[in-house]
Amino acid sequence: MNEDNAHYYRQNDFDTVGNDTTQANKPADIVWQDLEFPIREKTSFWYLKLISLALIITGLLYLFTKDIVTVVVIILCLIVLLLFGLKKPKSVNFLVSNRSFKIGNHEYQLNLFRSYTIRVINANHNAISFLPIKRFSPGVTLYVKHEKTPEILQMLSNILPMEESKLSIIDYIMEWFGI
């Protein structure tokens, strides 16, 4: 597959994996059903913390710049984060094969990623983050229950190199807020 013609992901209306003749030559696909992302319970303190931080930032920015547009943009971002925090995960099907992985109806080709990292999210889930080859392509994170992690890592280790997990400042902030 030519990298320039490759699509970052492909949305399918069906869940077939391939024909039976190619199945015999490759390792078995790993299939499971779970929530699209782990649930993080948000207390009233979470909402208070988010609103307080936004008010402090908007107050300081308005004090120094006297720019109302910046204040409005931060308040809009606050509203988006609050709505994102209220979102409940859907139950989706997951599939990992030696060529691609699927999250719901979205299929991601592994040859479009240069490596992956893994980190523990909570007591039940790990996050496997795939780092794209192309600079401006977004990364993709696959949330996996602990019992599925070893067989997925064994399959991925034959295809992609694993890098040490490094959290960016955005990741630290999102982790602190529980997003």
In 10 A of CB 128, how many CB atoms? 21
Q: Report, as an integer, the average pLDDT of 108-132.
A: 86
Cut 0.75: pTM above it? no
The C-alpha atoms of residue 157 and residue 152 are separated, in whole angstroms, by: 9
In this structure, what token pair is assigned to residue 171?
A: 């990741």
Residue given tokens 């479009």 in the structure block: 112
In this structure, what token pair is assigned to residue 83?
A: 């709505």
Give 116: exposed, middle or buried? Use CB within 10 Å, 0-12, 13-18, 19+: buried
pLDDT at 128 over 70: yes
In 3-state terms, what secondary structure has residue 6? coil
Q: Report, as an integer, the average pLDDT of 47-57.
A: 85
Interhelix angle 169-177/44-65, rounded to 10 degrees, is: 130
pLDDT at 7 over 80: no
H-run or E-run covering 95: strand 91-96
Residue 26's pLDDT band, with cuts at 50, 70 and 90, is low
Q: Report, as an integer, the average pLDDT of 79-97.
A: 84
Contact 119, 153 (CB under 8 A): no
pLDDT at 12 over 50: no
**Which of 1-10, 84-93, 96-105, 164-173 reaches the highest mean pLDDT?**
96-105
Instruction: Kindly report the average pLDDT of the chain as a whole number.
Output: 78
Q: Report, as an integer, the average pLDDT of 47-56.
A: 85
CA proximity to 147, closest of 40, 35, 30: 30
